[in-house]
Amino acid sequence: MKSIDAHSHIDYITHRIQPNVVGTVVCAVQEGDWKCLVDIAEMRDNVYAAFGVHPWFLDSVTDGVESRLEDLLKYNPNFMVGEIGLDKYKPDMEKQITYFIKQFDVAVKLQRSVFIHCVGAWDKMFYILKQYNNTDLPKIIFHAFNGGEDIINNLLKHYNNNVMFSLDKNAVYDRNCRIQQIPIDKILVESDAKNDSDLVKIIEKISEIKNNVNADDIIYNNTLRVLKNG
């Protein structure tokens, strides 16, 4: 079995990769991460880099971040966008929305896969996505996805050609019934900067939930499609 970790971070990638993990998507969380992540991606061909400012770190954001993000991605055609998003449990939702849109616009313009954090703000997320023409959207990966059946159905109904659901250990062990609603060709797996040896267990559990489908090959190829969009 081989797998690609669909979501990790710099502080974790520097000291491990399990033998069965043949690649890792490493997402920045603030602009201060970008230079280090560029260096890591240049040194390691199994690291796939994504750049952005996470909603938890907006205190560090400065004007013009979207222009700097666009310049970085233009110079590096394999780089993606992330981790960006919305979180209802963090302050200043208006600021979150402003900077999410600025960064999401770069992903749309350059057609780069985008890794999104969405916690308790699905109403706002859907409102924002409705402002775009579906044919213009890149691959959209909702990381550590924990949405309910209505959210899954809404995403599949309106964004079926674009949306991917990245599942961590909590998702497969705590929300099994919801995984039944997600088509296997829409699933990615992630460590979220925790123990990436869990990826094998996550894939095995998904295979069990999906009636022993050959989940490892399917999920691996799903992830390749996301990376090629980057």
117 has which bridge partners? 85
Helices (H) and strands (E) in the chain, counts: 10, 8
CATH number for the domain harbouring residue 78: 3.20.20.140
pLDDT at residue number 12? 77
Q: What is the pLDDT of residues 10-63, one digit of tens each?
A: 987 655 556 788 999 999 999 999 999 999 999 998 999 999 999 999 999 999
Could you give the angle at the alpha carbon of 161 between the alpha carbons of 153 and 179, nearest 5°? Answer: 40
What secondary structure letter does DSSP report for 57? Answer: G
Centre a 10 Å sphere on the Cβ of residue 133 and count the other Cβ atoms it contains: 7
Neighbours of 119 (CB within 10 A): 16
Under-70 pLDDT residues of the chain: 13-18, 175-177
* Number of domains the chain is built from: 1
pTM: 0.95
Q: Is 178 exposed, middle or buried (0-12, 13-18, 19+ CB in 10 A)?
A: buried
Helix (H) or strand (E) segment spanning residue 178: helix 176-179
Range of the domain at 10: 3-228
* Cα distance between residue 8 and residue 17, in whole Å: 11
Residue 211 and residue 24: Cα distance in Å, rounded?
27
**Which pLDDT score is estimated for 229?**
79
